[in-house]
Structure 1
């Protein structure tokens, strides 16, 4: 789910992330914040592939933005992205009280009511804000464990670090590759459990076509298909930062399973509703959408840029 920096060797990549978790969490908060902003500004000024793609993606979200406005949004976007990393490196050292007060979601009753229903509950999020913080808030403030899926990363040791990190925050983590993950998620939901999935970028060949900001792309079929097959509730969630240390968010009403149509048709309609909810939140807070990869089909069909 997370795009890695463009580093040449697997060993160096793993070492850098290990340093992040071992050193950044020891820094005073002000120093970590300043470091993150400095790194973000440096990356933005270099205008590498990720920054240029972020700006191209934001041009879809804010189509009437001037070049100056887009540049400001991409700079703010890189600062938001690096805030995510600085927070994530420090999360294991946060107290429970700090976690409880670090996230303030709106309309959280949709989530708490859903948890009481015992139907099983799926939270689907885009790459916004800090979904790890939102997840540990659920396990801490709501005392509710959940299951999620992680993209296989290279080297394998780096994937193991991410799994250990998230499991240390109270999450059950399944690998994205292989069909076994879907069956396990379905069992968790049928038992009344909670599943959280980042769902705005398809990493498989089975994505569902949707219209997103007026253009065609594909989004993962998993959230909607799980709801169709298990009867679990599907709730979109969006996250954003403001000028305070507290992350904000919104829990949307349930996307209900249509009464008519095949399973595939029902999942397609639900995934479009999910895309529409994501678009609403991203349009309100475009700088907090951390999409540094190609997403729309028109971009995916073009040859990849060279740095």
Structure 2
């Protein structure tokens, strides 16, 4: 019953939100965010545990709570705009973006060199993908395989309608990695969410002064194919979507492959730190990232 309800809820979101006037829809999702924030369930407390690392241990509890409330509103804004995006015109999607640094990424692609765009869970990454494809740049991405399977299929169908090629994270063995490598070697764009490890092969890096695990995939693909590894951070700016393409993270000249991948992933974490610190309310991280949190059992502790 739970799986059927999940499919029904998301299906209702995609079918209903686009028909509701935008001011009303946004107000409803803001109210949902505030109710979730007041309830302080596991997701909100995990968000606060992650944001505590961003603002530091000495920041007042009131500051953390205000930030987590803004974070939940940002997170529900992502869901509202994702549900509504199929009803948005191409012009709306293009005109609401404010992008910095896209020229360097486009130059790589124009020269025939592939690009790995590595993103944290910030802002609206689905919009960023749609914005790129509408500008004439096809891209390939990877989706976490959700349960039930029908829910995963709906997300894949949604992103494919936006113009993206979507590959499953699991269930295909080495096939997904091989496809990504081929796309990069042919000069394509691969976009990967890269601030949370979903496998047992994550790399331990320093993030906000603490050990954290990030996926090895983006750096490994760049090292393997010679593609440019370019971090991308996202945020909300009033009615607009902010996108910043950061400078390429080069492949180190020295060290074996494992050392190079680790060094590149650490630099990726450093760039993510900068983007998250500038827009912490738009970091939608309601899961474990830091090593210390994996070493504890149960939900994060409740605050005062």
TM-score range, shorter chain: over 0.9
The equivalent of 2:219 in structure 1 is: 224
The equivalent of 1:280 in structure 2 is: 274
Distance in 2 between residues matched to 1:265 and 1:181, nearest whole Å: 24
Matched, 1:36 2:6: no
The equivalent of 1:73 in structure 2 is: 67
User: 1:44: how far off?
Assistant: 0.4
Match of 1:172 among 148, 152, 165: 165
The equivalent of 2:198 in structure 1 is: 203
Q: Which runs of 5+ in 1 are unaligned?
A: 1-7
User: 1:239: how far off?
Assistant: 0.5
User: 1:290: how far off?
Assistant: 0.2
The equivalent of 1:4 in structure 2 is: none
User: 1:31: how far off?
Assistant: 1.3
Distance in 2 between residues matched to 1:220 and 1:213, nearest whole Å: 17
Matched, 1:270 2:264: yes
User: 1:199: how far off?
Assistant: 0.3
Distance in 2 between residues matched to 1:305 and 1:250, nearest whole Å: 33
The equivalent of 1:3 in structure 2 is: none
Structure 1 outlier segments of 4+, above 3 Å: none
Using structure 2 for the length normalisation, give the TM-score: 0.96
The equivalent of 2:16 in structure 1 is: 23
Q: Which runs of 5+ in 2 are unaligned?
A: none
Q: Secondary structure at the match of 1:225?
A: helix
How many residue pairs match? The answer is 298
Q: Secondary structure at the match of 2:204?
A: strand
Q: Secondary structure at the match of 1:298?
A: helix
Distance in 2 between residues matched to 1:104 and 1:304, nearest whole Å: 40
Matched, 1:250 2:253: no
User: 1:114: how far off?
Assistant: 2.1
Match of 1:193 among 184, 188, 194: 188
Q: Secondary structure at the match of 1:279?
A: helix
Q: What is the RMSD of the two structures over their aligned residues, measured on CA atoms?
A: 1.2
Using structure 1 for the length normalisation, give the TM-score: 0.95
Distance in 2 between residues matched to 1:51 and 1:74, nearest whole Å: 7
Matched, 1:138 2:116: no
- Provide, for residues 241-285 of structure 1, a one-character-per-residue CA deviation record: whole Å limited to 9, x for no partner: 12x210112110000111111111111000000000001000111
Distance in 1 between residues matched to 2:86 and 2:59, nearest whole Å: 39
Matched, 1:289 2:283: yes
User: 1:164: how far off?
Assistant: 0.4
Distance in 1 between residues matched to 2:154 and 2:130, nearest whole Å: 17
Match of 2:253 among 259, 266, 275: 259
